[in-house]
Amino acid sequence: MGSGSVLLFKAITPRRLTAKDILGPIEDECQSISKDILLDFELTVATWKTKVKFIREVTIGYTWIIISVITENEIYGWVDQGTPAHLISPRSRRGPKKAASMLAFMAGGTPKTIPGRLVSGYGSPGTDLVFASEVHHPGTEPRKFSEMIAKDWQKKIASRAQKAIDRSVKESGYGV
Residue 175 has a pLDDT of 65
Residue 63 has a pLDDT of 83
C-beta of residue 78 within 8 angstroms of C-beta of residue 137: no
Residue ranges of the chain with per-residue pLDDT less than 50? none
Residue 97 has a pLDDT of 62
Give the distance, in angstroms, between the CA of residue 21 and the centroid of all CA atoms in the same chain.
28
Q: What is the signed CA dihedral for 22, 24, 29, 33, rounded to 10 degrees?
A: 120
